[in-house]
Structure 1
């Protein structure tokens, strides 16, 4: 029998996600609940590497997606945000920090959804947060199931 455990959802939300999003100035209840829920949906906040795949970290970001986020950040319009994210980084190659640096991985996941063409959903609407994750983070081709993952986003909302 395989036992999968992950981080305590409240600790993930309040000790990693909330302070990270505050530091990069992309916080708010909806963003905190969304990023917490994405970590639960993508890795159950348990896996640092995708099984049989390239995605890395609790937010299961592929190195190509991280590079795409940096392409967006390396513009004059995003210079301040890029600087705030670089302040979270260690000297390791950035893609390895998706595994070893939870704050960096969270920040990059937030940048990924920052580029969505829709505002964040209501912070207390688990179904809307899960649908947003599917559409703007996981993609139509990804394995996420917005209906099945609603319970994970509700856990993120309810975490204390």
Structure 2
């Protein structure tokens, strides 16, 4: 059985075991087939990239996993729906990308060079890379949190991570909610 079929069969089996009918099983299969990147591989990539860039902590890993779950439904979307400006699995807007470089990394030359090196970017920062360079998207999402003075929430504090995401990534004026972020984390990326 292919890797594609595994989550579909798991979704159907779960519905069946919980007494769901045929229509529920079809809907579960359809939803599972449309989910984003394999959550185990995505979490592994996040961890490996953070370690390589010397930016790893379990708290940072979990915060980025929650962020990708909320922002792109676990990597389902690479461009913002409705022709918005956000790009990549973390749905970072080019303006945010540019602000990180101008007001944070621009004053931390060695950190900026490390980001570009680990991301395999040799022509300088470019927000277009967020869409298809997963390494760069991971590192730029990490920078959005890294530049904050407040400590990252504990690994076991899902609500704390969702609140932190809301304040520092989505912003208080953003459309996302803490409860939505928790729900999407549980749905797309929990138990990695």
Query: Is the counterpart of residue 120 in structure 1 residue 152 in structure 2?
Result: yes
Select which of 163, 182, 185 maps to 1:150: 182
Partner residue in 2 for 1:5: 35
RMSD: 2.0
Query: Is the counterpart of residue 18 in structure 1 residue 71 in structure 2?
Result: no
Equivalence map 1:95-134=2 (5 Å): 95-134=127-166
* Cα distance in 1 for residues equivalent to 2:140 and 2:120: 11
Structure 2 unaligned spans of 5+: 1-26
Partner residue in 2 for 1:57: 88
CA contact (8 A) 1:33 1:157 kept: no
Which segments of structure 1 move beyond 6 Å, counting only runs of 4 or more? none
Partner residue in 1 for 2:105: 73
Task: Name the TM-score, length of structure 2 as normaliser.
Answer: 0.75
Greater relative contact order (Cα 8 A, min sep 6): structure 1 or 2?
1
Q: Which moved more, 1:33-42 or 1:143-152?
A: 143-152
Classify 1:156/1:119 alpha carbon distance in 2 versus 1 (closer, same or farther; 3 Å).
farther
Q: Which of structures 1 and 2 has the bigger CA Rg?
A: 2
Task: Name the TM-score, length of structure 1 as normaliser.
Answer: 0.89
Per-residue CA deviations over 1:23-52 (Å, capped at 9, x if unaligned) read: 221111110011111011001111000012
Q: Secondary structure at the match of 1:134?
A: helix
Q: CA deviation at 1:133?
A: 0.4
